[in-house]
Structure 1
Amino acid sequence: MKLLFTLSFFLFSINSLFAQNGLVKGRIMANGEPLIYASVGIVGTRLGATSNDKGYYEIKNVPPGTVEVGASSVGYQSEKTSATVSAGATVVLDFTLQEISSRLEEVVVTGVTRATEVKKSPIPIATISKKEININVNSNIIDAIVKGVPGVSATTTGPNISKPFIRGLGYNRVLNMYDGIRQEGQQWGDEHGTEVDQYGIERAEVVKGPASLTYGSDALAGVINMIPAVPKGVDGKLKGDFLTDWHSNNGLIGNSLGISYNKSGWTYYLRGTQKRAHNYRNSVDGFVYGSGYREYNVSGTIRLDKSWGFSQLSATLYDNLQEIPDGSRDSLSRKFTKPVLEGIQDDVKKRPLVPENDLKTYAIGTLHQAIQHYRVYTHNQLIIGQGNINASLGFQQSRRREFLFPTLPDKAALFLVLNTINYDLRYNLPTWHTLETAVGVNGMYQINKSKDATDFPIPDYNLFDIGAFVFTKKSIGKFDVSGGIRYDTRHLTWNNFYTGIDAAGLGQRVPATFPDASLQFPEFTHQYHGISGSVGATYNLSERLLFKANLARGYRSPNINEVGSNGLDPGAHIRYQGNRDFVPEFNFQKDISFLAYLKNLDISVELFDNRISNYIFQARLSDSQGQPVVDEQGNLTYKYQQSKAQLYGGEFTLNVHPESVKWLNFNNSLAYVKGLNKNDELIEQYGNAAKYLPFILPLHFRSEVRGTLRKSVGPYTGIYARLELDTYARQNQIYAVDNTETPTPGYSLINTGMGTSVKQKSGRVFCQLFFQVTNLFDKAYQSHLNRLKYFEYYQASPTNRTGIYNMGRNFSAKIIIPF
């Protein structure tokens, strides 16, 4: 912690070394009116400002010399112009921005070493803005990203636990990041969600493909970078927003308050959020017992932007009480039952029915997870001539407890504490003849400890990662070429870990000398190494027509569950068995894309072929009679396997926005991925049952018609209405060995929504309103990646419906009040 504050203090103090600077000011207009809260900045620095309610801005402390000034706002074409600034002088620059529909000019920071326009990157990168996140009302940020980015899906355990998949790959193959810091929270677990405040995210950037080059292990499938808001208001004025969100299906109530203050380059930002929900419902199961939750978030940032660069110190606190669905029910009525006894006394078939009051209460039940995630980090940039040094350092702690004993409500079945230090240092060299090069080193140090609990699915361990890379890009005529190479090493170790039984018959961690002590995790030390890299190019047929091609090799070392697990994950109702002989995964992915952003429509075609060696997946264990291996509590056993694999497919989007009908948008997307198991020995033994990879989403088609009024109606502006068709085909290409997966019928959902902004007489926005109905016709369906689909205690059901179904009809309303 001292190092974090020392580094920030060092960079803050550099400001005193600089001489007298100048002032740049002016006004930003659009459609003949002042553009409020537009961003203006000195290109290549963090110096900037935000236009006030009359469109005026001021940038102070601009160093003397020739500078490039850029103005931008969401939904408008960015503008840049050059100016010469003299010491103590004032330069007046006015901007007039034009509305745009193209995303080619969007600037991204994920998967690249410095801010880059989408059209210049051969790597498939997609973005989702705050506006789209608000329009696609969801229970968590991952579900919002799934809605907005074709090729991204999620495995779910109820409405608040979603784990992202990119093109058929998930878990530790998708690197989740928060503001550029990798998210570490025991993400190997099926029922472990992403510990992020959904209301505090300003935008998200998704890299679809290996991104090991800049991030190291765990970015084999891609990266999802959730970027929080660090708003820039008018100097000396408090700015903020209050948000309230309500969902009818599970009674979700969400409230969030954010405030910010800017003065002389300093930015202060604080946000607090609370969410609570009772059990969700559908037309088959009624209210699904064990799906409620209560979540609290606090985040804050202090930032200084000056001509020498910037320094930022941020902290987040996440606290969630998340109920754990059990899935037990009465065999005839199919009503949910609840456990009231422990161990062998707990007969699943004799459990009492859940009282009606317990199905609609906001009180958290005895069976639940308690998750706390704390994070503090600093981002810093020091400008040196035409280059810059970027340094990031962060600490995060994940505390995860699972309570599963109805008669011992304070006894944790699982209690893991994970401490992680993240570090990243990179130098962006000065641009030389359009050649931009960066070198860097990054990684993490991690310690995991098990506390007082009864089950121990993974051992205590120490992990150290370090990787170095070089990345370069250059514009050559109509070509933008980029590529690089990286080397990683990971050291993983743990000591002997003994368990035993206490006087109450429950598991406990014990010393080696304890009577009847069992060595559950023998000591282990291993070093993993990997080389990754990429090379690609964008061919600009014109400003609006692009071809892209990219070749990338990714690297991922086995995670702790895959290599070290040997016990029950109580929340998942699964016993895992790892394999300490596993070697790292490597993949070679080929991407080719065509993008056309035309006057009346946008077209994108993105195709990929991904070959993976040493692919790790879990498969259900069976005994010699072909019956599943089940313990005395009915928990299944899964063992990790390793083989070759291939995934291929792509995404197609067609967005129509006729110039002659400016109020209309007709947006369509199609995503498909096929996953093939290349383990010849397994296929020879099990035939077609082993042909495909598990957890592959079927063909997904999404179509939306959206109409937006171009003129205001009284105080209402930006009025829109939308109608959406969300269709998933049947998935019967499954990994069916030992019934690891079962086929899933196809389904179509109809969603609709509308919204508007309400303006005051001064022209400032008083509030934003969003209304949405998902699953309008209350369709009963199960997503193929819904884990609750497999929560079933009986071989047959009187309704011919087994497992738990997804959420039924849901009406939601969101109000955002800026101030």
Structure 2
Amino acid sequence: MKSYILILFVGLSAVLHSQNTITGTITNTENEKLLGVEVYINELHKGTSTNEKGYFELTNLPSNTLKITVAYIGYKTEIKTIKLTQEITTLNFVLKESVFKMDEVIISTPFNKLQSQNVMKVEKTTLKQIQNQGAVTLNDGINTIPGVETVSTGIGIGKPVIRGLRGNRVLVYSSGIRLENQQWGDEHGLGVDDSSIESLEVIKGPASLLYGSDALGGVLYFNPAKFAKTNELDLNAGHTYFSNTEGSKTHFGFKKSFNSWKFLANGSRSEHSDYKTSDVYRVSNTRFNETNFNSAIGYNNKFISSALRFSYNRSNIGIPEEIGEQTTEKHLELPYQDLTTKMISFDNTIFLGESKITAIGGYTFNTRKEFEDEHHHDEHEEGDLDEDEHDEHEEVFDPSILLKLKTYNYDVKWHLPKSENFEAIVGVQGMHQTNENGGEEILIPNAKTNDIGVMATAIYSKGIHNLQGGVRFDYRSLDTEEHIIAHEDELHVFNALDKSFENISASLGYKTTLFNNIETRLNLASGFKAPNLSELSSNGVHHGSNRFELGNSDLDSERNYQSDLSLEYKTNHFEITVNGFYNYISDYIFISPTREVEDGFEVYEYIQDDAKLYGGEFGLHLHPHPLDWLHIYSNFEMVIGKQDNGEYLPLIPANKLTNTLRAEFNSIGKFKNNFLSLTYENTFKQDNVGVFETPTSSYNLLNFGAGTSYSFNKVNLDFNLNLNNALDKGYISHLSRLKSNGIQNIGRNVVASLKISI
């Protein structure tokens, strides 16, 4: 497969060429030339920056309609759509100053508009913003996004929660394809590392129209690292130290781009010992390590733009159960998990005159091993060994659980010819997946899953009015094998299943401006989630969640209907946003205790009931004049989840208020991009709890952050220092899996990082 792709690339570069070029000059409103402005075309993975005269040039472009994005710190982002009909096109920009963060192009929605132009409200944060928070893992970092939390077991295991929905209800996309790594389980992390990404976009609410089943609750869309600017070479390396876990992370990166070809490679290695709580106890076996490697090759000419990406992630994660032996050892103890995910994606844009086709194909191979007891097998049979050899042969430990998940994805969309006010897309998406067991224990059966979905969406824009809608049909088939497992004195039976699920999803959104300055978005959407393998057929102990789980083969698909209203008011020095939602879910699937005990663990089974979730986020950003260096942020988020019978849903995040003071000084002598920040998080008491939960007390956390950049010759140094939980507060998150054992979350943690770029 790889050889075929390389031959295809070489053949295209040999026979095709282009002379289409865009040149231009970028100035500010005072006609000053701007140096270092980024000019980028997302669909070509191609960019450059302005020189000291404000001049830029992009060559080797297709004869098609393209979106050019111009971004520069301190100025409003500009995006222009231009149709190339001649060899050389001149395109000049005049940028206006902006005290707020740069407007971003949204990739996870179909028409790739700026956030300010998007009909659907999408939260976007850059990798640098995540790293500035001093998070231990990427899972930890996404908690800073309003409306997003994490169900965690220690600091190495965590799964995203969007507005109270989690697991298979939240899709994760990486390198343009859906990440499939047994995400139904709460016993492991995302399997994505920040060394491979450029930014993160969060769709909060039904995204089934765009992504099909399993996007009922929302989408985390990780944009991969960009290629270097045309004809440039970028090298970087860095190291981060974490005081609480005596942990470290080392990363490297390489990028090189030519006129048509582009290459990149990056990787990282992190190691952590058991984390320490505020009462100086280390939580046994919360240690973990992670290895990542990513590479990509890109090519573009006047007919096609392609990117082939490969990513490798391996995590070894301890499964904590208690506070036991106090040690800073990093070698894992039983029980622990060994998780490996390999992904290949091939992203293509084919230009067809007035229209274009985007096609993404992907393959993911995920292996999940769980080691629980010191059971092992010998590399040689006992009868094959002499007595002298018996003590010398090696012993190889076997995993008690071994799951191999292979997934093939495809996503093909035809972007129809555009008119002045109208754009439309039709497409087909699908997935073929196999799950295979190889261990002594079985959590879920061997199975095959097939998805296919067809969709159409369109947007009409005129003046301040934008109307977007679409419809989609999905079909999923699921076949499982029968398994009969002898366990102690009982048999665990997995009956063979042959199930199919289908659904029609739709959405309608409207964006306008009220009273000249209030950006208003109203979205109505439906979504669905077919029951997953765990919900249908579990019959065993899940050690990560400390319970025996029973599936239910009679489960129906979840279907939801959600309304979102977003209001945003902004001036040069003040910004306020209000986002509210109401989400009704029919046949909501959740797990409930049976009051029985199996294999020494409490038994939980999957059941269904109609449910509703509602709440929202409130944000305020003040940039007082004349204190141009000061930013004041305040964000409040809340969600309430209930069954139709009035009982509360389990694992719903507590309400949270976050206040931040941030001082930014662009230049102090030779030091650039300087900042200081102070954040106070107030998490309220959660007493709206499910039937097997207990209330969680409120708590407050104080965090500090600082950073700067220093350049000499062509070398740039970035230094960050964070102090998280500065007061060493003892607290337990309501979404912590260790809450039932009374184990606190992580205590005070100093995070120091240094990055060198050339």
Question: Shared topology, TM-score over 0.5?
Answer: yes
Q: How does 1:257-336 map to 2 (within 5 A)?
A: 257-284=252-279, 286-327=281-322, 336=323
Aligned match for 1:395, one of 363, 367, 387: 363
Shift of residue 601 of structure 1?
1.0
- Worse-superposed segment, 517-526 or 553-562: 517-526
Distance in 2, Cα, partners of 1:19 & 1:405: 61
- Worse-superposed segment, 416-425 or 401-410: 401-410
Aligned match for 2:480, one of 489, 494, 497: 494
Does residue 753 of structure 2 align to residue 787 of structure 1?
no
3-state DSSP class of the match of 1:436?
A: strand
Aligned match for 1:576, one of 528, 549, 556: 549
Write the letter of the residue equivalent to 2:697: P
3-state DSSP class of the match of 2:400?
A: strand
Shift of residue 42 of structure 1?
5.9
Shift of residue 192 of structure 1?
1.9
Equivalent residue for 1:456? 442
Structure 1 pair 64/468, CA: closer, same or farther in 2 (3 Å)?
closer
3-state DSSP class of the match of 1:572?
A: coil
Distance in 2, Cα, partners of 1:558 & 1:85: 47
Shift of residue 78 of structure 1?
2.9
Q: How does 1:371-390 map to 2 (within 5 A)?
A: 371-390=339-358
Structure 1 pair 189/37, CA: closer, same or farther in 2 (3 Å)?
farther
- Worse-superposed segment, 191-200 or 262-271: 191-200
Write the letter of the residue equivalent to 1:168: G
Shift of residue 102 of structure 1?
4.4
Structure 1 pair 396/263, CA: closer, same or farther in 2 (3 Å)?
same
Does residue 566 of structure 2 align to residue 593 of structure 1?
yes
Structure 1 pair 80/207, CA: closer, same or farther in 2 (3 Å)?
closer
Provide Cα deviations, 1:254-310, integer angstroms capped at 9, x if missing partner. 011010000122110000100001010012360111011111000000011223231
Structure 1 pair 67/620, CA: closer, same or farther in 2 (3 Å)?
closer
Partners of 1:656 and 1:666 within 8 A in 2: yes
Shift of residue 484 of structure 1?
0.5
Write the letter of the residue equivalent to 1:778: D
Q: How does 1:469-480 map to 2 (within 5 A)?
A: 469-480=455-466
Equivalent residue for 1:745? 697
Write the letter of the residue equivalent to 2:575: D
Write the letter of the residue equivalent to 2:664: T
3-state DSSP class of the match of 1:49?
A: strand
Distance in 1, Cα, partners of 2:67 & 2:747: 52
Provide Cα deviations, 1:771-816, integer angstroms capped at 9, x if missing partner. 11010000000000000112x3xxxxxxxxxx21100000101112
Distance in 1, Cα, partners of 2:480 & 2:615: 40
- Worse-superposed segment, 745-754 or 318-327: 318-327
Write the letter of the residue equivalent to 2:106: V
Write the letter of the residue equivalent to 1:100: S
- Worse-superposed segment, 475-484 or 700-709: 475-484
3-state DSSP class of the match of 1:785?
A: coil
Equivalent residue for 1:808? 747
Aligned match for 1:631, one of 598, 622, 646: 598
Alignment size in residue pairs: 738
Equivalent residue for 1:550? 523
Q: How does 1:3-402 map to 2 (within 5 A)?
A: 6=4, 10=8, 13-14=11-12, 21-25=19-23, 28=26, 38-41=37-40, 48-51=47-50, 57-62=56-61, 70-73=69-72, 75-79=74-78, 95=93, 97-102=95-100, 105-110=103-108, 112-147=109-144, 149-235=145-231, 237-284=232-279, 286-327=281-322, 336-337=323-324, 354=325, 356=326, 359-402=327-370
- Worse-superposed segment, 58-67 or 598-607: 58-67
> For structure 2, which runs of at least 5 residues remain unmatched after alignment?
377-395
Equivalent residue for 2:610? 644
3-state DSSP class of the match of 2:321?
A: coil
Structure 1 pair 154/33, CA: closer, same or farther in 2 (3 Å)?
farther
Equivalent residue for 1:767? 717
Partners of 2:312 and 2:342 within 8 A in 1: yes
Shift of residue 49 of structure 1?
2.6
Distance in 2, Cα, partners of 1:169 & 1:784: 14
Structure 1 pair 295/55, CA: closer, same or farther in 2 (3 Å)?
farther
Equivalent residue for 2:380? none
Distance in 2, Cα, partners of 1:65 & 1:322: 48
3-state DSSP class of the match of 1:282?
A: coil
Percent sequence identity over aligned pairs: 30
Equivalent residue for 2:668? 713
Shift of residue 58 of structure 1?
3.0
Write the letter of the residue equivalent to 2:167: Y
Distance in 1, Cα, partners of 2:288 & 2:722: 22
Write the letter of the residue equivalent to 1:59: L
> For structure 1, which runs of at least 5 residues remain unmatched after alignment?
328-335, 338-353, 506-515, 623-628, 684-690, 793-802
Structure 1 pair 35/454, CA: closer, same or farther in 2 (3 Å)?
farther
Write the letter of the residue equivalent to 1:635: F
Does residue 428 of structure 2 align to residue 441 of structure 1?
yes
Q: Which has the higher strand share?
A: 2
Distance in 2, Cα, partners of 1:732 & 1:809: 26
Shift of residue 208 of structure 1?
0.6
Q: How does 1:681-760 map to 2 (within 5 A)?
A: 691-710=647-666, 712-736=667-691, 740-760=692-712
Distance in 1, Cα, partners of 2:245 & 2:35: 37
Partners of 1:186 and 1:192 within 8 A in 2: no
3-state DSSP class of the match of 1:637?
A: strand
Distance in 2, Cα, partners of 1:480 & 1:8: 42
Write the letter of the residue equivalent to 1:532: S
3-state DSSP class of the match of 1:412?
A: coil
Provide Cα deviations, 1:357-385, integer angstroms capped at 9, x if missing partner. xx211222232111111111100000112
Distance in 2, Cα, partners of 1:52 & 1:564: 61
Distance in 1, Cα, partners of 2:651 & 2:87: 62
Equivalent residue for 1:432? 419
3-state DSSP class of the match of 1:199?
A: helix
Distance in 2, Cα, partners of 1:52 & 1:455: 62
Equivalent residue for 1:512? none
Instruction: Give the structure-2-normalised TM-score.
Output: 0.92
Equivalent residue for 1:799? none
Structure 1 pair 21/86, CA: closer, same or farther in 2 (3 Å)?
farther
Partners of 1:213 and 1:534 within 8 A in 2: yes
Distance in 2, Cα, partners of 1:522 & 1:85: 59
Equivalent residue for 1:537? 510
Distance in 2, Cα, partners of 1:806 & 1:143: 12
Distance in 2, Cα, partners of 1:65 & 1:163: 41
Distance in 2, Cα, partners of 1:87 & 1:432: 20
3-state DSSP class of the match of 1:115?
A: coil
Provide Cα deviations, 1:459-480, integer angstroms capped at 9, x if missing partner. 1110001111100111133210
Provide Cα deviations, 1:308-358, integer angstroms capped at 9, x if missing partner. 23111000111111111122xxxxxxxx34xxxxxxxxxxxxxxxx2x4xx
Equivalent residue for 2:727? 777
- Worse-superposed segment, 76-85 or 286-295: 76-85
Partners of 1:550 and 1:590 within 8 A in 2: yes
Structure 1 pair 251/601, CA: closer, same or farther in 2 (3 Å)?
same
Write the letter of the residue equivalent to 1:705: L
Distance in 2, Cα, partners of 1:79 & 1:472: 23
Partners of 1:38 and 1:72 within 8 A in 2: yes
Aligned match for 2:642, one of 676, 696, 715: 676
Write the letter of the residue equivalent to 1:457: L
Distance in 2, Cα, partners of 1:214 & 1:233: 30
Partners of 1:230 and 1:301 within 8 A in 2: no
Write the letter of the residue equivalent to 2:700: S
3-state DSSP class of the match of 2:140?
A: helix
Distance in 2, Cα, partners of 1:82 & 1:295: 42
Partners of 2:348 and 2:359 within 8 A in 1: yes
Structure 1 pair 42/692, CA: closer, same or farther in 2 (3 Å)?
closer
Provide Cα deviations, 1:493-524, integer angstroms capped at 9, x if missing partner. 112112236xxx7xxxxxxxxxx994611111
